[in-house]
């Protein structure tokens, strides 16, 4: 068993250095967002990879980047196109089915968006940023918000009172321990009728320049000392809203109502599949540990789902060495799997295991699952 180094008070050792960045400070491009003062940085356990091998793994490849990015966008275009074609030529029930299926693919946009935020998909910098804006627009996302939020999520810089990574107040993007109400989930994961209304309300509010500064997390990401960052966020919100309203308006004017269902609001449908993939990253696992193997989860998926999910099923590996492009995470996994906990095969086995954890946590609020680790091989 491998256990993190601990101090006398049983807390993992952390290093305090406001200026030092860890070896895995991996949002290597993009804006340098604010890091509040008086934080301490965790010394995370990482499986050993030689410097030469890591340098090769970190090397981005335009060909593989295009294969992943254009391949994924091609899936979206094909699914949306077939659904649109069906609305004019095939029975209505076929159209309904295809619109529903199409929504499943669009939910994985966020995973491509996530990788492009890391700027680890292409070796050419402007390609990362070009496609980031395409993904950001299509998914109604704001990369300025995610740049700021995800920088903190990966830095895991923590306050002096020793709360740990993936934990508020310094990382509120993912807060551990995660708990899920599966009964409520199914009410919105098949068809979410409220999605267009809630989305438009949010975007119209942002259009006016609104930022929820009463939320400490938002306030820390967009401090009053940096009005330019706020302006960039609001301007992108306005551009996305105007762009989508123009597309929807022109489509309706020419009688192409189907565009609203397959391009403007496709994420009304089929959220469940991407959710089951994404939530498996951390749910049921520990907090307060400086070991990604204990607070993140790697699972095996079939090649098609792994492609749609942008290889984020290798999630421990992504956190350990987040500069490694998504299409090389499988190679990294093979190199370090002898130091990794057991990886479930498929979503069925994964969620069967998670359901047991959640059931026990429901009866024992203090229970946290501790993954069994093999002995380290140095």
Q: Please, which pLDDT band fits residue 152 given cuts at 50, 70 and 90? A: low
The pLDDT, as a whole number, for residue 378 is 44
The pLDDT, as a whole number, for residue 116 is 95
The pLDDT, as a whole number, for residue 63 is 98
CB 218 within 8 A of CB 212: yes
Is pLDDT at 3 greater than 50 in this prediction?
no
How, if at all, do strands 39-42 and 157-159 pair?
A: antiparallel
Is pLDDT at 6 greater than 80 in this prediction?
no
The pLDDT, as a whole number, for residue 271 is 96
The pLDDT, as a whole number, for residue 305 is 98
pTM: 0.84
Tokens of residue 32, six digits: 């340098």
Is pLDDT at 325 greater than 90 in this prediction?
yes
Q: Please, which pLDDT band fits residue 160 given cuts at 50, 70 and 90? A: very low
| pLDDT more than 70, % of the chain | 79
Q: What is the separation of C-alpha 242 from the centre of its chain, rounded to a whole number of angstroms?
A: 26
Q: Which of 37-51, 79-93, 322-336 has the lowest mean pLDDT?
A: 37-51
**What is the CB neighbour count within 10 angstroms for residue 302?**
11
The pLDDT, as a whole number, for residue 24 is 37
**Residue 163, exposed/middle/buried by CB under 10 A (0-12, 13-18, 19+)?**
middle
Collapsed DSSP state (helix, strand, coil) of residue 373: coil
Is pLDDT at 333 greater than 80 in this prediction?
yes
Q: Please, which pLDDT band fits residue 102 given cuts at 50, 70 and 90? A: very high
> pLDDT tens digits, residue range 213-257?
878 878 888 887 788 888 999 999 999 999 999 999 999 999 999
> pLDDT tens digits, residue range 280-309?
999 989 888 889 999 999 999 999 999 999
The pLDDT, as a whole number, for residue 170 is 46
Only one residue has tokens 């899920």, namely: 180
């Amino acid at each position: 068993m491998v256990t993190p180094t601990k101090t006398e008070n049983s807390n993992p050792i952390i290093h305090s250095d406001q200026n030092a960045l860890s070896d895995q400070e991996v949002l290597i491009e993009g804006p340098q967002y604010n890091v509040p003062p008086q934080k301490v940085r965790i010394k995370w356990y990482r499986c050993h990879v030689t410097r030469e091998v890591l340098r090769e793994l970190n090397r981005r490849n335009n060909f593989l980047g295009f294969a992943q990015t254009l391949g994924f966008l091609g899936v979206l275009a094909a699914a949306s196109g077939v659904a649109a074609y069906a609305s004019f030529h095939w029975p209505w029930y076929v159209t309904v089915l295809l619109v529903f299926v199409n929504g499943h693919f669009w939910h994985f946009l966020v995973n491509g968006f996530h990788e492009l935020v890391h700027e680890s998909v292409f070796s050419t910098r402007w390609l990362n940023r070009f496609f980031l804006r395409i993904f950001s627009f299509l998914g109604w996302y704001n990369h300025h918000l995610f740049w700021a939020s995800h920088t903190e999520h990966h830095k895991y810089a923590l306050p002096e009172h020793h709360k740990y990574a993936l934990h508020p107040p310094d990382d509120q993007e993912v807060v551990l321990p995660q708990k899920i109400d599966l009964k409520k989930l199914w009410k919105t994961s098949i068809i979410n009728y409220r999605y267009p209304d809630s989305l438009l309300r949010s975007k119209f509010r942002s259009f006016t320049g609104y930022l929820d500064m009463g939320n400490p997390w938002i306030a820390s990401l967009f401090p009053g000392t940096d009005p330019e960052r706020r302006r960039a966020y609001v301007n992108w919100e306005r551009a996305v809203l105007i762009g989508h309203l123009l597309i929807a308006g022109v489509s309706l004017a020419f009688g192409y109502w189907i565009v609203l269902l397959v391009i403007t609001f496709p994420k009304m449908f089929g959220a469940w599949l991407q959710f089951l993939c994404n939530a498996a990253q951390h749910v049921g696992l520990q907090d307060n540990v400086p070991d990604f193997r204990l607070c993140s989860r790697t699972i095996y998926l079939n090649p098609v789902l792994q492609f749609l999910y942008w290889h984020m099923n290798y999630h421990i590996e992504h956190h350990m060495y987040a500069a490694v492009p998504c299409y090389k995470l499988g190679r990294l996994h093979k190199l370090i799997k002898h130091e990794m906990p057991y990886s479930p095969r498929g979503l069925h086995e994964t969620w069967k295991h998670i359901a047991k954890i959640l059931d026990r946590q429901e009866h024992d609020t203090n229970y946290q699952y501790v993954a069994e680790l093999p002995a380290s091989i140095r």
